[in-house]
């Protein structure tokens, strides 16, 4: 059974946007019931997930209908999962926060030799998952009620080969995005301290679910901010999971509004003696965070509009010492200023732009591109003269203003 056939059997359809979905719900369940469900969905967006899930899991078909909102996310994750593991893999695989079991069953159908166990805190969700298992006649999957803090009966003696979380583990809010004006290495140390005080329960996951040597944890959660991504990496490291950046990736899918979303799938593995291994390499962390926004052009890295925080993190971490040239453009209408600076950091050139209103842009180029980048900088100076007073800088001015949270 292909993935498309799987969704077709269950009546899970793809919709272009949320309006098209609600139109279909109106037709299927009537206006009154559809509006009740829509009210619950609004509560979900406001953070009340329990009310939402308890309502949609009351009816088996309604739960499947709402799975349509995640169909592209599921496809993206399953495609990645297939790229990492052989179809004939003989392994015990646990789905943390499985909901009504759609993703668990989709994976079980794709990996018939593996044993899948899904668990969730919602009893209604697990009841729906059991019905789904029976509907699909799957024999290699089972569902249990519980969470990481109170593991369900049946998992006491399980040592899983793989455990994964898809949009179920809280990304955490211990640090605001404004923290990125400090160096990444300092942030990493702060996160380590915070992790010891406010753990994400990954230590429990490792201790209670995964094989002590070689067990794999996979996180594909809503880690939107760089600081949340760093927090998850730190939590995994603290739990004895070595992040595997070669296996990790940035997955793209379309959300319920029809907009593209890019989120990290982070893989970590337990290794015997992990406690005496060196900690996660900070260079590997920054390389992974930047990988999301890499646009290759003769070896360059470009972080611009929409990646302001990450550009600031990268510049702060690289901490270049050699200032080559720069300019400041002060807008004649008094709306602000923008700086463009050319720096050298070892064998790399950094073209960094920043404004006093939060814009950040960073490009990383090989040193061989010096003449090309200097020419671009001169064009910036000349074009800025049309709307700003331009000051050519022989040395860097004060450091950029930190981003506001």
* Helix axes 184-197 and 308-318, enclosed angle (nearest 10): 110
C-alpha to C-alpha distance for 105 and 135, rounded to whole angstroms = 10
pLDDT digits (tens, 9 = 90+) for 140-196: 999 999 987 777 888 878 899 999 999 988 775 444 444 434 444 455 555 555 555
For residue 155, what pLDDT is reported? 85
C-alpha to C-alpha distance for 71 and 203, rounded to whole angstroms = 31
Chain position carrying tokens 């909102």: 69
**Backbone dihedral angles phi then psi of residue 269, each to the nearest 5 degrees:** -130, 140
DSSP character string of 378-390: HHHHHHHTTTEEE
pLDDT digits (tens, 9 = 90+) for 289-304: 767 654 333 345 677 6
Give 34's contacts (C-beta < 8 A, 6+ positions apart). 22, 25, 26, 28
- Locate the domains of the chain by residue range: 301-393
Query: In angstroms, what CA-CA distances link 232 with 41, 188, 192, 227?
Result: 27, 11, 11, 9
Pick 154 or 39 by higher pLDDT.
Answer: 39
53 close to 122: Cβ distance less than 8 angstroms = yes
* Helix axes 60-67 and 49-56, enclosed angle (nearest 10): 120
pTM over 0.75, yes/no? no
For residue 339, what pLDDT is reported? 95
For residue 267, what pLDDT is reported? 95
């Amino acid at each position: 059974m292909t993935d498309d056939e799987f969704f077709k059997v269950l009546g899970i359809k793809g919709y272009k946007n949320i309006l098209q979905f609600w139109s279909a719900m109106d037709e299927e369940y009537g206006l009154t019931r559809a509006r009740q469900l829509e009210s619950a969905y609004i509560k979900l967006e406001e953070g009340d997930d329990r009310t939402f899930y308890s309502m949609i899991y009351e009816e088996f078909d309604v739960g499947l209908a709402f799975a349509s909102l995640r169909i592209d996310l599921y496809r993206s994750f399953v495609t990645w999962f297939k790229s990492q593991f052989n179809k004939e893999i003989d392994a015990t695989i646990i789905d943390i926060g499985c909901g009504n079991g759609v993703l668990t069953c989709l994976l079980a159908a794709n990996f018939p030799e593996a044993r899948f166990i899904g668990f969730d805190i919602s009893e209604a969700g697990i009841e729906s998952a059991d019905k789904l298992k029976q509907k699909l006649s799957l024999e290699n999957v089972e569902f249990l009620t519980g969470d990481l803090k109170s593991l369900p009966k049946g998992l006491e003696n399980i040592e899983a080969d793989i455990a994964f979380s898809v949009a179920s583990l809280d990304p955490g809010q211990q640090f605001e995005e404004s923290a990125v004006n400090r160096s990444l290495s300092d942030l990493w140390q702060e996160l380590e301290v915070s992790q010891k005080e406010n753990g994400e329960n990954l230590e429990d996951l490792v201790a209670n679910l995964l094989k002590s040597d070689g067990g794999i944890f996979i996180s594909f959660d809503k880690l939107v901010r760089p600081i949340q991504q760093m927090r998850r990496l730190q939590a995994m490291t603290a739990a004895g999971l070595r992040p595997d950046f070669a296996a990790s990736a940035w997955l793209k899918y379309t959300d319920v509004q029809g907009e593209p979303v890019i989120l990290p799938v982070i893989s970590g593995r337990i290794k015997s003696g992990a406690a005496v291994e060196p900690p996660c390499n900070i260079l590997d962390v920054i390389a992974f965070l930047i990988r999301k926004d890499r646009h290759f052009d003769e070896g360059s890295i470009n972080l611009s509009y929409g990646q302001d925080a990450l550009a600031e993190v990268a510049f702060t971490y690289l901490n270049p010492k050699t200032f080559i040239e720069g300019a400041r453009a002060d807008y004649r209408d008094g709306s602000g200023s923008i700086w463009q600076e050319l720096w050298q950091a070892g064998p790399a050139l950094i073209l960094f732009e920043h404004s006093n209103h939060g814009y950040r842009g960073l490009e990383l180029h090989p040193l061989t591109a010096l003449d090309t980048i200097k020419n671009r900088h001169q064009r910036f100076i000349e074009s800025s003269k049309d709307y700003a007073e331009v000051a050519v800088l022989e040395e860097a001015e004060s450091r950029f203003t930190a981003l506001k949270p």
